[in-house]
Amino acid sequence: MRISIFYLLLILIVLGSCESVSNSKESPLYLDPEVTIDDLHNGYRNGDFSVRDVVDFYLRRIDSIDQNGVNLNAVITINPRVREQAQSLDKMEFSGPLYGIPILLKDNIDTGDSMPNTAGSIVMKDAYPNADAPLVQQLKEAGAIILGKTNLSEWANFHSNVSSSGWSGLGGQTKNPYRLNHNPCGSSAGSGVAVAANLCVVAIGTETNGSIVCPSNNNGIVGIKPTVGLISRTGIIPISDHHDTAGPMARTVRDAVLTLSSMTGLDEADKATQQDERSIEEDYTQFLRTDGISGKRIGFYLKPLAEDSSELTLIMNQAIQELKEAGAEIIEIEEILHPRTEYLSFTVMQYEFKDGVNQYLRGLAEKSPVANLGEIIDQTFKDSVEMQFDHQLLKRSNERGDLSSKEYRSALDSIVLTSRKEGIDRVMDQFNLDAIVAPTGGPAWKTDHENGDAYDIYSSSPAAISGYPNITVPMGFIDELPVGMSIFGRPWTEGKLIEIAYDFEQRTNHRKSPKYLD
């Protein structure tokens, strides 16, 4: 197995600089590839380095590893005010659970930091939002510093019949840091890669169906897809009002949970956060328990592995054994969703994508480069770079009617019923379950722009279509490529899922830094 020359040089640089982690004036700051929020906070408190030192480290790292090194194409824009903001934080008293933590945002999330919000589309390269999205405001109030924006599957991978996850017309193809010719999955591809390669401490992704958990799986990190309504979606370029949510992506469960706790504010503009049954915790770190698996009744969802005889089945079975040894009772489950649920979910997404994008563009007002989805299609189809893929999904969505359509209302009612009452709720009631587990996906496939993505195994749909929470954690490797285990369940049970995820992580420690293999 060949290791890239760049990676060998990086090892030598790391070994030569490990003894100079302080704020030495002779050499720049070096941070371990697995550095955590707690590590940075200890350094700030001890005076080992400043926020400006940390920001400079990440800017150097992005420049060397992402642009001039192995060309991961993970970061699409750097915050032009980030050094200024770091210096301002240095003048303040240490405060907030995310003080001085560099965070990257998926490039479909608004920020007022003089960065466009593009969804990876060349058409949107000059679309500058008026203000921070509420979730970004909350991160800043917690002390976080926005480092920049990450590349993504264009339009959150809702654009073409055949597409390559991690590709956008504006940002190019994002690469998997474990094997550079393999796919990072998406649509939060850049966010997953940036976290795995330590181009930031935490990144924010968004998910409609699999777009947080799949890139977390392929890049060996933790991803939390919360209940729809736990986090505001205002200021996020949408696909589906029913499915969409943002969520944190990090190298550890603790870092993801610290970030999640800072993003749960109410939003008058997002009706999902106004639900009567909405139930949140002010601090989810209370669920970081090393006995979190003991006594849980956990369903093992068998369908994703039904026709699999690969090493993934062996790794998943080992994870099940580890859950049993930690005190869980395991109940095998054959089926959760009605066979037509995913098809009808796709119909709902087309209607809601058209409506949501048009509403988002109207919110940009005079700063919007286009007026509606129709104009996006017109300009996209004239661009030779964009037309590496067919963008037929954009057209099909634009041909749909409005949200009063009988077809839309019928499909929405059907998926709500079959994914919730007749889906996850039914299974969990029947077997009195605390959670359900399944392989998040198989290992990353080779990137192929001609034939598109090679999804063979995935388990995201039950939680995604129902709008229920899902957490993925690393559970092993296949030929140097990571794979993860998903833990999902009832709405607003993030705490219970965190207990299982954290305990499993602490017992197994499957996370490994990438090697940037050719």
Write the pLDDT tens digit of every residue in 20-48.
333 444 579 999 999 999 999 999 999 99
Determine the 3-state secondary structure of 472 from DSSP.
Answer: strand
Whole-angstrom Cα distance, residue 433 to residue 315? 23
Q: So which residues are the catalytic ones?
A: 106, 187, 211
| Tokens encoding 243 | 């499915």
Residues 409-448: pLDDT tens digits?
999 999 999 999 999 999 999 999 999 999 999 999 999 9
| CATH, residue 67 | 3.90.1300.10
**What's the rounded mean pLDDT across residues 251-256?**
99
CB 191 within 8 A of CB 171: no
Whole-angstrom Cα distance, residue 417 to residue 423? 8
Residue 361 placed within a domain: yes
Q: Which residues pair with 103 in a beta bridge?
A: 146, 202
Q: What percent of the chain has pLDDT over 90?
A: 92
pLDDT at 11 over 60: no
| Tokens encoding 310 | 């690969």
The total domain count for the chain is 1
Question: 303 burial class (0-12, 13-18, 19+ CB within 10 angstroms)?
Answer: middle
| Tokens encoding 121 | 């589309």
**What's the rounded mean pLDDT across residues 228-244?**
98
pLDDT at 18 over 50: no
Characterize the bridge pairing of strands 329-333 and 297-301: parallel
DSSP states of 210-231? STTHHHHHHTT-EEEEPPTTSS
- Report which secondary-structure segment, H or E, holds 468: none
Whole-angstrom Cα distance, residue 62 to residue 475? 27
**What's the rounded mean pLDDT across residues 57-86?**
89
The phi, psi pair for 204, rounded to 5°, reads: -110, 125
Output the pLDDT for position 69.
56
Which of these, 62, 229, 83, lies nearest to 150 by C-alpha position?
Answer: 62
Determine the 3-state secondary structure of 322 from DSSP.
Answer: helix
Whole-angstrom Cα distance, residue 69 to residue 80? 22
Residue 222 placed within a domain: yes
CB 163 within 8 A of CB 157: yes
Residue 180 placed within a domain: yes
Residue 517 placed within a domain: no
Output the pLDDT for position 70.
76
Q: What is the pTM of this model?
A: 0.94
Residue 515 placed within a domain: no
Residues 458-514: pLDDT tens digits?
999 999 999 999 999 999 999 999 999 999 999 999 999 999 999 999 999 999 999
Output the pLDDT for position 25.
46
Residue 514 placed within a domain: no
**What's the rounded mean pLDDT across residues 385-414?**
98
| Residue 145: domain span | 5-508
Residue 518 placed within a domain: no
| Tokens encoding 421 | 């009452």
